[in-house]
Amino acid sequence: MGSAVRRMLNLVAAITGSLFPVFAANAQTDQAWPLISAGAYVAFFSPSSSKGKVPQSKPIVVKAFAMARNQVTNTDFLRFVDQHPEWRKTEVKAIFAERSYLQQWPSDLSFGAVGLVQNPVTNVSYFAAEAYCEAIDARLPSTDEWEYALADAGRNQKSVAQTALNWLAEPNHASLADVGTATPNFYGVSGLVGLIWEWTSDFDSFVTSTELRATDGKDSAQFCGNGGTGVKDTADYPAFMRFSMRASLKANYTLSNLGFRCVRDL
Amino acid sequence: MTRLNKMLAAMAVSFLMIAGAAFSHDHTLPAMESGGALPGTSIYNLTSVWTSSDGKAVSLKELAGKPVVIAMAYTSCKDICPLIVADMMAIEDQIAKQNIHDVQFAFASIDPEHDTPERLATYAKEHGLDAAHWMLMTGDAKAVRLLAAALGVRYRRVDATTIDHSTIITLIDQQGSIRFRRLGSGDDLVGFISHLADVARALP
């Protein structure tokens, strides 16, 4: 039944999506910032309310927005730190980024090898990603927006899941591929899965369990998948992984396979 | 990528690096306090502007100089927030018994849509929060997001009237660095109070 419902919702999403571009007539969208048309999708995980009600997988309505085709690259980020010295690796405040921030860059204003110009920038904290997007009049996508763009109105999802699975199955690469090499999805967004993890603006909103109200109050109690209740599709392993990945992050964390892309309101 | 592209890219990068070196001196450094720079670990490096319950624009930095006990919650919260505030009031009482009075208590709303300054003022009055020691504040969505990120507070709107959120109470020292966190509302306050006493007795 679950998959039938999903197919229907995907259809609804596709239809609403195709109805909405009217609103996007004067939007600043182009190949670099493809339009993600409005629609609805069912989040991977619907939090049960604090009152312990049975979680319901209600579709979430997502407004149209523009999403960067690619992740932010080393070149992009170098331009940013050049203009915003407070985000250089030797200048950044400890509260905004842990020590491994940009650790792969040999110095403040160099990311090293020329071959890395189109590599996604990684080892960037949430605060740095926020500041970058703001500096280009954009913002980080919400988790809903990000997942909605990946869901691609239900198109080609088998292949998306396979790409994600393959990536998860591989050990960490010594080097990353360039951004934009993956075939874009139907919206025109490339490489949402298969290259790096990406920050979302509300990565820290996933308070998954009512244990928060339990007496031990330990952080670890917050990171449990709540026994799988409230999960849309328990077979969607990559979605589980993204979910737990986000739940495990803190805003000053930096990882060698965690970067970001920005979105813009229309 | 072709060899030509690579070469062009290399030239672009070297240009950027040279440009970076050339321009870097034109930038003014972030504002420093007359008393010296804030430590990198200070939450007062956050520059968001908040509004206090008396309607004034405040930056977090204005709390500097005293130990601060801060929590993020919202006034219409029926479940855990009254407990958080009750715990903070208990801290206030117990620390007063140790003859420590110069502590700032701060309540930052995670519900800026509903928590207007007026509402915060009403809430403070209803709970008998002493304006001399308490600051209730509300900010825009971004200010809330960044402070929550800095304090490790997780929150999520569940429905129109409910926001699930962490129950963390954080102790911040005179310069804004986090010194202690009480994670769950069930934990006793002994550890928090002893850390607060240490911070308060240290010379600022």
In order, the DSSP letters of A171-209 are PPPSSPPPTT-SPP-TTS---SSSS-EE--TTGGG----
CA distance A84 to B9: 22
| pLDDT for position A56 | 54
3-state helix, strand and coil shares in percent for chain B, rounded to the nearest 5: 40, 25, 35
Residue B102: CB atoms within 10 A of its CB come to 12
Residue B150, SS3 per DSSP: helix
Q: What residue ranges do the domains of chain A occupy?
A: 2-70+137-265
Note whether B81 and B52 are same-domain residues.
yes
Q: Which residues of A touch B40 (CB under 8 A)?
A: 92-95
**Between chains, do B184 and A251 touch, taking CB under 8 Å as contact?**
no
Task: Note whether B84 and B169 are within 8 A (CB).
Answer: yes
Average pLDDT, chain A: 81
- Closest by CA to B35, choosing from B60, B63, B59, B65, is B65
pLDDT at residue B25 tops 50: no
Express each pLDDT in A21-52 by its tens digit.
Answer: 444 444 467 899 999 999 998 877 665 544 44
Out of A47, A127, A215, name the one closest to residue B158 (CB): A47
Please tell me the predicted confidence (pLDDT) of residue B33. 42
Mean pLDDT on B15-41: 50
User: Do B167 and A49 count as a contact with CB atoms less than 8 A apart?
Assistant: no
Average pLDDT, chain B: 83
The band of A102, judged by pLDDT with boundaries at 50, 70 and 90, is very high
User: Is the pLDDT assigned to residue B113 strictly greater than 80?
Assistant: yes
What does the pLDDT read at residue A233? Answer: 65
Q: How many domains does chain B have?
A: 2
Predicted local confidence at residue A133, as pLDDT: 98
Same domain, B69 and B123: yes
> Is B104 contained in some domain?
yes
Band (A187; pLDDT cuts 50, 70, 90)? very high
- State yes or no: pLDDT of B32 exceeds 80: no
Q: Is residue B37 part of a domain?
A: no
- Give all strands of the β-sheet with A263-265 in edge-to-edge order: A35-36, A65-67, A263-265
Task: Check residue A46 and give its pLDDT.
Answer: 60
Q: Is A209's pLDDT higher than 80?
A: no
pTM greater than the 0.95 cutoff: no
Model pLDDT, residue B119: 96
> What confidence tier does A240 reach under pLDDT thresholds 50, 70, 90?
confident
CB contact (8 A) between residue A204 and residue B149: yes
Residues on chain B touching A201 (C-beta within 8 angstroms): 145
Q: Are the Cβ atoms of B164 and A215 closer than 8 angstroms?
A: no
In a shared domain, residues B105 and B131: yes
Range from A20-34, A67-81, A190-204, B152-166 carrying the lowest mean pLDDT: A20-34
Range in A20-24, A241-245, B146-150, B172-176 with the lowest mean pLDDT: A20-24
Task: State the Cα torsion A200-A205-A209-A214 to the nearest 10°.
Answer: 140
- Among the partner-chain residues A49, A109, A201, the one whose CB lies closest to the CB of B162 is A49
Residue of A nearest to B177 (CA): A95
DSSP state of B55: S
Which residues in chain B have Cβ-Cβ distances shorter than 8 Å to A83?
A: 23, 27
| A contacts of B9 (beta carbons < 8 Å) | 75, 114, 117-118
Rounded to 5°, the CA angle A146-A150-A155 comes to: 150
Q: Express each pLDDT in A138-171 by its tens digit.
A: 999 999 999 999 999 999 999 999 999 999 988 8
pLDDT at position B20 over 60: no
Is the pLDDT assigned to residue B10 strictly greater than 60? no
B82 belongs to a structural domain: yes
Answer whether residue B18 is part of any domain.
yes
pLDDT at A28: 60
- pLDDT for residue A214: 39
Specify if B38 maps to a domain.
no
DSSP three-state, residue B2: coil
Contact B183 A218 (CB under 8 A): yes
State the Cα–Cα distance between residues A88 and B30, nearest whole angstrom. 13
Per-residue pLDDT at A207 exceeds 60: no
In eight-state DSSP terms, residue B113 is T
Residues B23 and B71 in one domain: no
Does B145 lie in the same domain as B49? Answer: yes
Please, what is the Cα angle at A264 between A125 and B164, to 5 degrees? 60
Report residue A69 as tokens.
Answer: 């085709």
Distance from CA of A124 to the nearest CA of B (A): 15
Distance from C-alpha of A220 to C-alpha of A181, rounded to nearest angstrom: 37
Interface size between A and B, measured as CB pairs under 8 A: 125
Q: Which two tokens stand for residue A122?
A: 């990684």
Q: Do residue B22 and residue B47 come from a single domain?
A: no
A6: pLDDT confidence band, cut at 50, 70 and 90?
low
Q: Report whether pLDDT(B17) > 80.
A: no
Report whether pLDDT(A15) > 50.
no
Single-letter amino acid code for the residue at A21: P
- Is position B36 within any domain? no
Whether residues B61 and B26 fall in one domain: no
pLDDT above 90 coverage of chain A, percent: 59
Q: Measured between CA atoms, how close is A53 to chain B, in angstroms?
A: 11
Q: What is the pLDDT of residue A175?
A: 82
Residue B177 lies in a domain: yes
Closest CA to A74 of A123, A125, A127, A31: A123
**pLDDT number for residue B63:** 94
Kindly state the percentage of chain B with pLDDT values over 90. 61
B90 within a domain of the structure (yes/no): yes
Task: pLDDT band for B23, please (50, 70, 90 cuts).
Answer: very low
| Confidence (pLDDT) at A7 | 54
B89 or A19: which carries more pLDDT confidence? B89
* A80-105: average pLDDT: 97
CA-CA distance, A127 to B46, in Å (whole number)?
A: 10
Going A55 to A56 to A62 to A67, the CA torsion angle's sign is positive
- Could you give the percent of chain A with pLDDT greater than 70? 73
Distance from CA of B13 to the nearest CA of A (A): 7
Nearest by CB to residue B154, choosing from A130, A215, A222, is A222
Whether B154 and A205 lie within 8 Å, measured CB to CB = yes
Angstrom distance (rounded) from CA B133 to CA B67? 11
Per-residue confidence (pLDDT) for residue B129, from 0 to 100: 94
Sorting pLDDT into bands at 50, 70 and 90, what band is B31? Answer: very low
pLDDT higher than 60, residue A122: yes
Strand pairing report for A59-62 and A258-259: unpaired
- Same domain for B176 and B98? yes
pLDDT at residue B30 in the model: 40
Mean local confidence (pLDDT), A188-192 = 97
Nearest CA in chain B to A95: B41
- Bigger pLDDT: A195 vs A56: A195
B95 and B20 share a domain?
no
User: What sign for the dihedral angle of Cα A95, A97, A103, A108?
Assistant: negative
Domain hosting residue B79, numbered range: 43-201
